[in-house]
Amino acid sequence: MEAFITAIANAQPVVHFANRWVGRPGESFGPRTIGDYQWIYVRSGKGNARIGGQNFRVYPGCLFTYGPGQPHWFCSSEDDPLVLYGLHFGYAEHSGLDDVLSMIRNVDWDSFEKKEPVVPIQFPARMETGSWPLPFFERLVEEYRGNRTMGALMLRGLITELVAKVARWVIDKPVSAIPLDKRIIRVKETLERNTIESYQAEWLTDGLAFSHDYVSRLFKQVFGLSPRDFHNQARLAQAQQLLEEEGLSSTAIAERMKFGSVHHFCKWFKKHSGMQPGAYRKKSRFL
């Protein structure tokens, strides 16, 4: 563990590529290897994965990690396809997108039985982190796609904080959820259920004997985001899913999600995703 802590402390991680991937029923990627590091965070859905010689079930809240030359494969279930966040990065230097793509190699199934490469920083292949990493992956994808001023610095800050928090999670071991978390989770589920509507403060206090501000503070402690920001991200995910899976026009999505006008929807979508809906649709198929 001491070597792990030292390696993390000396790391200078840099993002190479970040994306959100919506799998179709039974869709898979791999078996393959890559030349850098990748973290896969499971936002929703179910499936199976294989990393090196290990087989895993895939479900929401899991974070998968592997490094250069480690064979891996992921597959969505037929009835509940996966929605994944994929993050390519290096611990020391930037390779650039073209180099990252050129380092992907398809392999045969026998490669999984070979000895796994030794990597300098070894996280567990699967970590059941729960929901707290989600805001980091959302923001990493947003910054990577946004091409904004100081974007590279923002990406470096986000990936550095994420690596440090995951390392702390591994070192400290997760603590058991406090009883109140169950009620906060109910608030989360309410926010996720109401993605076609604008945020409403009364969602937080329905059935709870607490004020909106108190529940909001507790919610942020558990999930790392205010309820309003969490709802915006869930609403964005819903809009992205409609763009990716159903091919609806921006006007049709604006109507379905009660934005009032396509202009309002497009402005809101760009604010929260960094790009227009049409541009997002074109970039959603690579992980």
Using CB atoms within 10 Å of the CB of residue 141, give its burial: 0 to 12 exposed, 13 to 18 middle, 19+ buried: buried
Tokens of 285: 């198929």
Tell which wins on pLDDT, 31 or 208. Answer: 31
Query: What's the gap between Cα 98 and its chain centre?
Result: 22
> Rounded to whole angstroms, how far apart are CA atoms 201 and 216?
10
Query: What is the pLDDT at residue 175?
Result: 43
Average pLDDT (19-41) is 94
Closest CA to 13 of 137, 164, 141: 164
CATH of 180-282, one of 3.40.50.150, 1.10.10.60, 3.90.1640.10, 2.40.170.20: 1.10.10.60
DSSP E strands in the chain: the ranges are 14-22, 28-33, 37-44, 47-51, 54-58, 62-66, 72-76, 83-90, 105-106, 126-128
Q: Report the SS3 class of residue 251.
A: helix
- Examine the pLDDT at 153 and tell me if it is beyond 90: yes
Model pLDDT for residues 77-121, shown as the tens digit of each residue: 999 999 999 999 998 866 555 567 678 899 988 877 665 566 667
Cβ atoms within 10 A of the Cβ of 117, count? Answer: 13
Instruction: Kindly indicate whether the domain formed by 2-172 is annotated with CATH number 2.60.120.280.
Output: yes
Phi, psi of 154 (to 5 degrees): -60, -45
Written as one letter, the residue type at 228 is R
Classify the phi-psi angles of 166: left when phi > 0, otherwise alpha if psi is within -120 to 50, otherwise beta. alpha
Report pLDDT for 205. 82
pLDDT value for 244: 81
Q: Domain-by-domain residue ranges, the chain?
A: 2-172, 180-282
Mean pLDDT check: name the lowest of 59-68, 165-174, 227-236, 266-275: 165-174
**% of the chain with per-residue pLDDT over 70:** 89
Determine the 3-state secondary structure of 30 from DSSP. Answer: strand
Q: What is the pLDDT of residue 95?
A: 53
User: What is the pLDDT confidence band of residue 158, given thresholds at 50, 70 and 90?
Assistant: very high
CA 219 → CA 25, 157, 168, 253, 275, distances in Å? 33, 24, 21, 29, 28
Q: Is 13 in contact with 94 (CB distance < 8 Å)? A: no
Instruction: State the Cα–Cα distance between residues 13 and 65, nearest whole angstrom.
Output: 14
Share the mean pLDDT of the chain. Answer: 85
Q: Considering the entire predicted model, what is its pTM?
A: 0.62
pLDDT band at 177 (very low <50, low <70, confident <90, very high): very low
Average pLDDT (21-30) is 94
**Closest residue by Cα to residue 191 from 215, 221, 156:** 215
Would you say residue 215 has pLDDT above 90? no
Reported confidence tier of residue 287, pLDDT bands at 50, 70, 90: low
How confident is the model at residue 178, as a pLDDT?
Answer: 46
Within 8 A by CB and 6+ apart from 58, the residues are 42, 45, 46, 47, 48, 49, 64, 74, 82
pLDDT for position 179: 53
Query: Is 180-282 the same fold as 2-172?
Result: no
pLDDT at 181: 61
Q: For the chain, what is the total number of helices (H) and then of strands (E)?
A: 11, 10
In the predicted model, is pLDDT for residue 285 greater than 80?
no
pLDDT score of 19: 93
